[in-house]
Amino acid sequence: MHSPQTQINKEFWQRLWLVLKAFRKKIILLFFMISIFEMLTLISPYLLKLIIDALTKLGQIDILKIIGLVCLMLATDVLVSSVHYFKDRKIFDFLIGLEYQLPITLQKKLVSLSLGYHEKENTGNKIIKVQRGVDKLSELMVNGCWEFAPTVTQIIFTFASMLYFNLYVSLIFVVFIPIFIFITFRMNRITNPWRNQRHEEYENASGILGQSIINIYTVQSFAQEKKETQKYQGIRDRIAALEGREWRVVLDYNLLRNIIIDIGRVTVILYSAYLAWQGIITIGSLVFFITLSETAYHALFRLSRTYDRLIESSTGVQRITNLLQEKSTIVNDPVISPRQKIYGQIEFKNVSFSYRQDSKSKALKNINLFINPGETVALVGPSGGGKSTIIKLIYRHYEATTGEIIIDGQDIKNYDLPSYRSRLAIVPQDVEIFNASLKENIAYGNPNAAEREIREAAASANIDFVKLLDNGYDTLVGERGIRLSGGQKQRVGIARAVLVKPSILIFDEATSNLDTHSERLIQKSIEKISRQQTMIIIAHRLSTVIGADRIFVINQGQVAESGTHEELLKNKGGIYSELLHLQAIGELK
């Protein structure tokens, strides 16, 4: 599906002005300096007019007057150069500040958006959206500051000057401008859909490239290098075709715009020369009109090219304005102090949830469960039953569609979100490892932890493999932990979670992909840290949850059964008993 066509209209400028909120004073000052500069540039052509009139005046030539005018012209040029210098300095300061602040603002926005946004957006698309958006907004501002604003101001002042000296010359000058503008708008109306499609393809190409690199192990293991290259090349082929079609139209219309400019220039020159021949204007005025019109018409053509670039930039800018206006589905409006201690009591009251608001299919249906502080509970059941969804709701990555989630007697929405999440820790099935040292990865959730605390957390997670690493805890583990085995990653994840000293600790199928030896080590780690906080364990291997205080069997989004291992085992026709039986005989698929 293609996004709506990007147009530089009132809404676009309003949204852009909102993005540039922090720079508004600088922008206003810049436009003021640009206006002053363009007004000053008209003085020299006028002084040249006076000099020529003085030189061509019948009778005695006033040398002193001419020398005075030349000196005044020199002083004016020095003043113009000085204003130009200070104007450019302000422009550079503005652009440097923009290129520094905007990526930070966009990254801050991205990490603040709820998990639902990130789960539906391709990682590569998000990265290229930010990168191209920043580049295109910077490009738009460069064109705006050095081309668009000065040129518009110059044309306005040129027309005003011509109008002051001669009505008919000014009318001839201005009559070609609407024709030129119409042609420019017409051209961009034709090319705009292709431009939008091209930007979408840029994002798709980035997504394909990113996925092929991120999943390079799988790509090479299944010998799919050619397939990935063909997919990427196919998108680049479409981009090249769109660019070729777009530029052919642009070149055709550029020829037409050049012809309009040439007709306008020649008409102004001929009519001004006619007025000078008739004695209606002086030779100096003739030179003045020709100088102004030549400068203005060239500026008009530059303006049209600048407008083309503005349209090109606007597509990327539109994407980052859309991103900045994206609303998180999770609203942080706390009524409880961020310092409020959490003990780990969890209650679900008639909680139902659907990932899509318009979907009739519910991931959770009328869930009711209660977990005491310090209790170890397990969530088990068939895949897709809703176990991980419960965890996402506890983390408040999503809001319950109906019902309440109560933490320590308070609605979960009453807590300050960052503060609340800092009291939780999770060891997921696939632990995300950063391209940093082992120590930094362990301390990710608690970066201010002391060296002793890091080592204690590592010991509790049975990270004995640190002795085999060249640089110990300072060893770089590679992107996504490529230098670590699956079991080692899981133990890093456990140490990371333990170091946070959470009130609620969650294991989301932390041993499902491990060999027997690694699983035993992880199980020992879990046993070491149990009873220190509320613990929730999601597991497919039921042997790992036998010791839980209570077990909830989640099936088709509902709590189908609950109780201790012994209690559930007595229900011979129950889901838990059946799952345990199937695992015992190795038939669970």
| pLDDT per position as a tens digit, 468-513 | 888 888 888 887 778 888 888 888 888 888 888 889 999 887 666 5
Query: Does a structural domain hold residue 334?
Result: no
Query: Does a structural domain hold residue 172?
Result: yes
Both 509 and 495 in one domain: the answer is no
Determine the pLDDT at residue 355: 85
Segments forming the whole domain that contains residue 457: 430-501
The three-state secondary structure class of 561 is strand
Q: Side-chain half-sphere of 94: how many Cα atoms within 13 Å?
A: 27
Tokens of 223: 């010998």
* Res. 325: pLDDT tops 90: no
The three-state secondary structure class of 346 is strand
Environment class of 571 (CB within 10 Å of its CB; exposed 0-12, middle 13-18, buried 19+): middle
Mean pLDDT for 290-307 is: 78
Determine the pLDDT at residue 589: 45
Nearest to 124 by CA among 232, 211, 219, 228: 211
Q: Which amino acid is at 445?
A: G
* Res. 92: pLDDT tops 60: yes
Quote the longest CA-to-CA distance of the chain.
125
Lowest-pLDDT range of 17-21, 178-182, 301-305: 301-305
Structure-model confidence comparison of residues 487 and 308, the more confident one: 487
Other CB atoms within a 10 A radius of the CB of residue 76 amount to 17
Q: Are strands 376-380 and 534-538 parallel, antiparallel or unpaired?
A: parallel
Query: Does a structural domain hold residue 582?
Result: yes
Cβ atoms of residues 26 and 93 within 8 Å: yes
C-alpha distances in Å from residue 492, one per residue of 447, 516, 573: 15, 18, 39
Query: Does a structural domain hold residue 1?
Result: no
Other CB atoms within a 10 A radius of the CB of residue 588 amount to 15
Nearest to 23 by CA among 97, 131, 99, 134: 97
Tokens of 560: 């189908």
* Res. 5: pLDDT tops 50: no
* Tokens 């220190």 belong to residue: 532
Both 62 and 155 in one domain: the answer is yes
Tokens of 350: 């008639």
CATH number at residue 494: 3.40.50.300
- Mean model confidence pLDDT for the chain: 82
Structure-model confidence comparison of residues 559 and 118, the more confident one: 559
C-alpha distances in Å from residue 431, one per residue of 4, 56, 396: 38, 86, 19
Both 157 and 229 in one domain: the answer is yes
Cα separation, 468 vs 451, in Å, equals 19
Cα separation, 504 vs 346, in Å, equals 9
Domain total in the chain: 3
* Res. 23: pLDDT tops 70: yes
The three-state secondary structure class of 108 is helix
Query: Does a structural domain hold residue 526?
Result: no
Per-residue burial over 88-105, b = 16 or more CB atoms within 10 Å of its CB, e = otherwise: eebbeebbeebeeebeeb
Q: 352 pairs with which residues across the strands?
A: 402
Both 141 and 260 in one domain: the answer is yes
* Res. 350: pLDDT tops 90: yes
Query: Does a structural domain hold residue 159?
Result: yes
Both 43 and 86 in one domain: the answer is yes
Cα separation, 392 vs 371, in Å, equals 16
Residue 200 phi, psi (nearest 5): -65, -40
Determine the pLDDT at residue 351: 93
Domain boundary pick from 269, 300, 325? 325
Structure-model confidence comparison of residues 133 and 447, the more confident one: 447
Cβ atoms of residues 459 and 525 within 8 Å: no
- With a pLDDT cut of 90, the percent of the chain lying above it is 10
Both 206 and 348 in one domain: the answer is no
Rounded to two decimals, the pTM is 0.69
Both 306 and 399 in one domain: the answer is no
Both 434 and 550 in one domain: the answer is no
* Res. 587: pLDDT tops 50: no
pLDDT bracket for residue 381 (50, 70, 90): confident
Domain boundary pick from 298, 325, 352? 325
Q: Are strands 424-427 and 504-508 parallel, antiparallel or unpaired?
A: parallel
Cα separation, 375 vs 371, in Å, equals 7
Cα separation, 380 vs 575, in Å, equals 10
* Tokens 């640009």 belong to residue: 34
Both 481 and 509 in one domain: the answer is no
Most confident of 27-31, 61-65, 215-219, 345-349: 345-349
**Which residues 6+ apart lie within 8 Å of 287 measured at CB?**
48, 49, 52
Cα separation, 315 vs 309, in Å, equals 10
Both 78 and 183 in one domain: the answer is yes
Phi-psi region of 223 (alpha: psi -120 to 50; beta: other; left: phi over 0): left
Domain boundary pick from 293, 325, 357? 325
Task: Using alpha carbons only, give the angle 348, 354, 358 rounded to the nearest 5 degrees.
Answer: 145
Query: Does a structural domain hold residue 6?
Result: no
Nearest to 372 by CA among 505, 535, 547, 529: 535
Residue 416 phi, psi (nearest 5): -65, 125
The enclosing H or E element of 536 equals strand 534-538
The C-alpha R_g of the chain, in whole angstroms, comes to 35
Determine the pLDDT at residue 94: 86
Both 394 and 541 in one domain: the answer is yes
Determine the pLDDT at residue 585: 60
DSSP 8-state class, residue 279? T
Both 215 and 348 in one domain: the answer is no
The three-state secondary structure class of 461 is coil
Cβ atoms of residues 378 and 539 within 8 Å: yes
CATH number at residue 168: 1.20.1560.10
- The angle that helices 43-55 and 63-112 make with each other, rounded to 10 degrees, is 160
Query: Does a structural domain hold residue 475?
Result: yes
Task: Using alpha carbons only, give the angle 142, 148, 150 rounded to the nearest 5 degrees.
Answer: 100
Lowest-pLDDT range of 47-61, 170-184, 193-207, 418-432: 47-61
